[in-house]
């Protein structure tokens, strides 16, 4: 989904903040996996090293991309955050540490809110930043 297919008021808001959200393609999955890993390791340092970069890329290409709608928030050409969802369930929501607190995480769920009235998600109990955000 390109910016032209977004709801007009959403596209205007996105352009004014220099943040563009679009549906990701298979070619974007390696970048999505990198965002996931950096955000995950930052939020949950006690789990750093649990998975390899190769494993992350495989997971995004073979599981996330094939089973979810995946959208990314771009600041210029740089992927700053991702959301992956199935129906009303958010499977993945990750924002790069340096982009947190800048509105990226608040904009990504808007993709699903345009379709679903109620959203569900899960986070680690020890992930205090995510719990405060939600």
Q: For position 7, what pLDDT does the model report?
A: 37
Q: For position 124, what pLDDT does the model report?
A: 55
Are the C-beta atoms of residues 75 and 15 closer than 8 Å to each other? no
Q: 17 falls in which pLDDT band (50, 70, 90)?
A: low
Which of 59-63, 70-74, 81-85, 128-132 is predicted with the least confidence, judged by mean pLDDT?
128-132
Average pLDDT over residues 72-101: 91
SS3 64: helix
CATH of the domain at 41: 3.40.630.30
Length of the chain: 134
Which pair of tokens denotes residue 108? 């990504």
94 has a pLDDT exceeding 70: yes
Supply the range of the domain harboring residue 67.
3-133
Average pLDDT over residues 6-10: 37
1 has a pLDDT exceeding 50: no
How many domains is the chain built from?
1
């Amino acid at each position: 989904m390109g910016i032209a297919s977004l709801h007009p008021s959403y596209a205007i808001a996105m352009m004014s903040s220099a943040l563009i959200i679009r549906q990701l393609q298979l070619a974007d999955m390696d970048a999505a996996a990198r965002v996931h890993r950096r955000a995950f390791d930052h939020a949950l340092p006690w789990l750093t090293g649990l998975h390899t970069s190769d494993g992350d890329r495989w997971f995004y290409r073979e599981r996330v991309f094939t089973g979810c709608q995946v959208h990314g928030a771009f600041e210029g050409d740089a992927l700053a955050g991702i959301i992956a969802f199935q129906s009303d369930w958010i499977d993945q929501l990750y924002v790069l540490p340096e982009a947190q607190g800048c509105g990226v995480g608040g904009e990504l769920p808007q993709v699903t809110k345009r379709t679903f009235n109620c959203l569900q998600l899960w986070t680690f109990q020890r992930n205090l930043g995510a719990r405060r955000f939600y």
